[in-house]
Amino acid sequence: MSVTVQKTLAVTPELLDGLNRLLPQLSSSAPPLSMSEIEKIVDSDASTLFVASDEGLTVGMLTLVMFSIPTGLRAYIEDVVVDQGSRGSGIGEALIAAAVNEARERGARSIDLTSRPSREAANALYQKLGFERRDTNVYRRLIKKDELE
């Protein structure tokens, strides 16, 4: 296995196919991505899409989100997924390392991520890589379409 991890600079049909193959392994409710949706991610100053490839096949992805707020530059890792057939081969670690290096180079002092408790292997990996569990509450509020008007 010869895996490379790179920042996505251009959106191609092959990238679209690869991400849409990985997406159901990340979320059973996420609809397939379109070229324009991936372009929004890639073109945004706030997000960096890292993709792991093995001989041209997309085997993992991660999004690094960074933005400035009054208390400083914030960095978050989101939507980490490694293809089920490639797990355990260091791809997740390589994706995380690329994101941490990017955040460090851009001046972040810390980087956060969340992971469901049921993702035991992922949680073990994050702890192995130096992430510490925080004592915090995560809240979510769904926004109904009729509230947008």
- Tens of pLDDT, residue by residue over 102-125, are 999 999 999 999 998 998 999 999
- 146 confidence band (pLDDT: 50, 70, 90): confident
pLDDT of residue 44: 97
Percent of the chain with pLDDT over 70: 98
For 69-80, the pLDDT digits (tens) are 999 999 999 999
pLDDT of residue 149: 60
Kindly state the tokens that stand for 112: 């956060």
- pLDDT at 148 exceeding the cut of 70: no
Kindly state the tokens that stand for 92: 């997740």
Distance CA(23)–CA(28), nearest Å, equals 8
Domain ranges of the chain: 3-148
What is the average per-residue pLDDT within 7-34? 95
Closest Cα to residue 38, out of 6, 64, 11? 11
Cα within 13 Å of Cα(98), Cβ side: 24
pTM: 0.91
- 2 confidence band (pLDDT: 50, 70, 90): confident
3-148, what's its fold? Aminopeptidase (3.40.630)
pLDDT of residue 65: 98
- 132 confidence band (pLDDT: 50, 70, 90): very high
pLDDT of residue 96: 97
Q: What is the mean pLDDT of the chain?
A: 94
Cα within 13 Å of Cα(104), Cβ side: 6
